Amino acid sequence: MKVTALAGGVGGAKLLVGLQRAVAGSGELAAVVNTGDDAIVYGLHVSPDVDIVTYWLAGVADTERGWGLSGDTFEVVDALGRLGADDWFRLGDRDMATCIYRTDRLRAGATLTAVADEIRRRLQVPTRVLPMSDDPVRTTIACADGRVLDFQEWFVRERCAPEVSDVRFTGMPDATASPGVLDALSDADVVVLCPSNPIVSIGPIVSLPGVRDALREHPRVVAVSPLINGVPLKGPADKLMLAAGLDVSATGVAASYADLCDAFVLDAADHTAPGDVEALGMSVMKTNTIMSTHDASEALARRILEP
């Protein structure tokens, strides 16, 4: 079985771990990962979603904190702060090594796709990790106070506090899906939209030319709600959905995926009436979506992949 999953940060990474376990030995998994959160920090090319996905799949992520590497240290960023650099982006030392490596390889002419593949192979990740695009797409947050912030400025530096008036994907008109992404979608038996932020994680991926059409045409696309009873398990999906004029609920997520999805997974504890989602033209599965352990992730993955 060939599975392709679209993912952003931690929620996506957790389901990918489950999918990787579920297909082990009997199938292939490709992860198409958002790069709209990418940023240049300390002059280094940071790909937060690509890295967090890779670290989770490699079993080296800090699963408590959610981001970065387990047991990482912070000598470099602390030293940068002492030198007067803006040190609000707290990259760990080994995490920074990934970014130094990526930046050096990009400068030598490698693509984001090639570098992500080098890194996942070095970390012995069997899943293919595909950045959504090799072109620069940058998610920017237009704030109600008039400021336009890079996503990481809004998300990390300002801790999602400024009210959002609009979300923009700078560079999107000139971007194309990265090599292999469209193939991974058309080759897949199942496409999974991970329980990632629908606006800033899945949103940029499906905005790339060809991706939305590929999903529309695909016979089996399953999305997992990142909201349970209107509340995201992690991250600012609620604030961003509100700004996008969506209903902040599983039904609101399903509505935004209505033309893409064939099936939608609601958490077992979600009070959403399945009929509200079914009315959008997709079937509904109810199951536990809280991935507090790798076993829970695998159980959810197996449920999604059931024929």
CB of 114 to a second copy, least distance (A): 12
CB of 85 to a second copy, least distance (A): 6
Torsion of the alpha carbons at 167, 171, 176 and 179, rounded to the nearest 10: -100
Q: Where are the alpha helices (DSSP H) in 125-278?
A: 151-152, 181-187, 202-207, 211-217, 237-243, 250-256, 274-278
CB of 106 to a second copy, least distance (A): 9
For a second copy, which is the closer residue by CB, 82 or 173? Answer: 82
Crossing angle between the packed helical segments 112-122 and 93-107, to the nearest 10 degrees: 140
For a second copy, which is the closer residue by CB, 117 or 270? Answer: 117
Chain residues that interact with a second copy, rule: CB under 8 A: 42-44, 72-73, 75-80, 82-85, 93-94, 96-98, 100-101, 103-104, 107, 118-119, 122
CB of 108 to a second copy, least distance (A): 8
For a second copy, which is the closer residue by CB, 94 or 286? Answer: 94
For a second copy, which is the closer residue by CB, 37 or 117? Answer: 117
For a second copy, which is the closer residue by CB, 108 or 173? Answer: 108
CB of 46 to a second copy, least distance (A): 12
Q: How many residues does the chain have?
A: 307
- CB count within 10 Å of CB 66 equals 16
Angle at 32 between CA 93 and CA 20, to 5 degrees: 80
Q: What tokens were used for 255?
A: 């509505």
